[in-house]
């Protein structure tokens, strides 16, 4: 949705790129919700937390924060 709001170009083309991405994201979110409903945390994340040194939660958050900053820089660079 960020690209739709801030990117330059033909609006029709922007919608053709944004709509499938949003639809796929919603589909994936629903799939994961149904798959994990009523289950414990994903074993992969449990393994990351178990092996992490220092504050294990920070290890996971750091990955997401870096991704968010890079996306912000990418969008900002186009404006």
Residue spans per domain, the chain: 1-39, 40-79
Whether 64 has a pLDDT exceeding 60, the answer reads yes
pTM to 2 decimals? 0.52
- Across 32-48, average pLDDT: 85
Q: What pLDDT score does 78 carry?
A: 61
Tokens of 79: 């404006």
Band (pLDDT 50/70/90 cuts) for residue 14 is confident
């Amino acid at each position: 949705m960020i690209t739709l709001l801030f990117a330059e170009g033909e609006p029709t083309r922007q919608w053709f790129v944004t709509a499938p991405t949003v639809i796929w994201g919603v589909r994936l979110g629903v799939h994961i919700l149904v798959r994990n409903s009523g289950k414990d945390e994903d074993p992969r994340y449990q393994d990351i937390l178990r092996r992490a040194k220092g504050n294990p939660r920070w290890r996971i958050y750091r990955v997401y924060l870096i991704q968010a900053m890079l996306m912000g820089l990418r969008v900002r660079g186009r404006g």
